[in-house]
Chain A
Amino acid sequence: MTRTITLRVNGKEHTVEVPVQRLLIDCLRYDLGLTGTKEGCSVGVCGACTVLMDGQMISSCLTLAILADGAELRTVEGLAQEDGTLSPVQQAFIDHGGFQCGICTPGMVTAATALLEANPQPSEDDIKEWMMGNLCRCTGYYKIIASIQAAAAQRRGEAVS
């Protein structure tokens, strides 16, 4: 049983035929070749597969691809500008050491992007509550929080310390 679905991913429209039970993470990675989004736990806990669907962050491992028919999606591939200039969040993760092994990073920067769009001036507690669903086994989180704070300051046009 298959369905033909149309989805806009990072501004580009794709029409694909997928089995009804196809998960969005697999559709992105295997049907569209967008392998930036990672699969970690497969049960919606770790946040590695975080993407934005119609502006809301979701777990692409818990979402059927057919549910994204007609939706607007953003993945880690769509965060930088077309000329390759990194977004403030991506640059801040590099500048402040917000990652080590990198498997959680696509989900981290995508979730942090959604946070700053919803709340441009998050407190440290706001950051911790929002990012609670994105697990990192390397950094101990402090540098991730520092990266997001720096990105928030950058977006507001403040000098980055």
Chain B
Amino acid sequence: MNPFNYHTPETQEEALALLHEHGDSAKLMAGGTALVIMMKQRLVVPETLISLHRLRGLTAVQETNGTLQLGALLTHRAAETAPLVRAHLPVLAETYRRVATVRIRNVATVGGALAHADPNQDPPVTLLALDAQVQLASVGGNRTVPLTDFFTDYYETMLRPDELLTAIRVPIPPSHTGSVYVKFLPRTADDYATVGVAATVQVDPATGTCQDCRIALGSVGSTPLRAQQAEAVVRGQRLTPELLREAGAVAQQQTDPISDTRGSADYKRAMAGVFVRRALEQAWQQALATPS
């Protein structure tokens, strides 16, 4: 690993001032579980490293007006075990639990994982299906961005060099909504998925038809994906095997996987269709089972 100038800001203001000063030549480090590997491999060689481990704040979980907000420096383990997350968004707690191992989750942060933008990760998929937003701060001010606009390419986001991701905001789903994340793992339990699919389905309790739905996929493109065309197929419809098959077929057309040790591109595309079908069905059944 190459040496670097090292800063440990204690407040968000100090961190933002350092980012403003060093811009593109600086890297922010939260948990560092991904960044340190990239620095060891010299894929990333920052002139300046700004470690956030002494920064106070940005670790709260708060519920306000039907939105759950996770501070960016919350660890995966803390998000997975937080009572508010488990109560309001069990699917999100369960998704964090599926990431790597306890030892990594003890350190890796929820904001750092999004900024890292590895398209094979689990949480972005569930967060896309939950219609999450991210809060970004810089010396120039704050902005809130839908997660659907955030990822731009492999390990690339719309974050500007002077911006810090400070929080994730997740609307708590309305009643009669089911939400699931299914992860297809043919190798080991701590591996990246061959494909990961999250689905949320809101039903009309009187008729059982789908009022709203969101479908997201991971590991099958250069970014986590929303399968909006498949969502349009499902909205307003009743749950039938034919509909699920059609939604899976439409969703898999939106994927663009690469061949690697977790499967060939063709196999991943085929599995994307299968797992969209399964995720939708599970979310739908969960929504129908919600007591009125």
Contacts and interface: CB of A to CB of B under 8 A. Distances in A.
Interface of A: 1, 3, 19-21, 23, 42-45, 47, 50, 56-59, 62-64, 66-67, 111, 129-130, 132-133
Contacts of A3: 6
B53 A21 contact: no
A133 B190 contact: yes
Interface residues on B, range: 20 to 34
Contacts of A66: 6, 51
A56 B106 CA distance: 7
Interface of B: 1-6, 32-33, 36-37, 39-40, 49, 51, 53, 100-104, 106-107, 189-190
A1 B103 contact: no
B37 A44 contact: yes
B103 A50 contact: yes
B51 A42 contact: no
A67 B103 contact: no
B104 A59 contact: yes
A21 B103 contact: no
7 contacts: A44-B100, A44-B103, A58-B107, A59-B104, A63-B107, A67-B53, A132-B190
A21 B33 contact: no
A59 B103 CA distance: 7
Contacts of B4: 1, 20-21
Contacts of B33: 44, 59, 62
A62 B100 contact: no
A-B pairs with lowest CB-CB distance, top 9: A133-B101, A21-B1, A1-B3, A56-B106, A133-B103, A62-B36, A20-B6, A57-B103, A132-B101
A43 B36 CA distance: 9
Contacts, number: 69
Given A130-B102, A133-B104, A19 B190 contact: no
Contacts of A133: 100-104, 190
Contacts of A59: 33, 103-104, 107
B190 A62 contact: no
A52 to B, nearest CB: 10
Given A44-B37, A62-B36, A64-B32, A111 B103 contact: yes
Contacts of B2: 21
B147 to A, nearest CB: 26
Contacts of A64: 32, 36, 51
Contacts of B1: 21, 23
Given A42-B40, A132-B102, 7 more contacts: A1-B6, A21-B1, A57-B102, A62-B107, A63-B107, A132-B190, A133-B100
A23 B37 CA distance: 11
A8 to B, nearest CB: 17
Contacts of A20: 3-4, 6, 49
A66 B51 CA distance: 10
A3 B53 CA distance: 16
A63 B101 contact: no
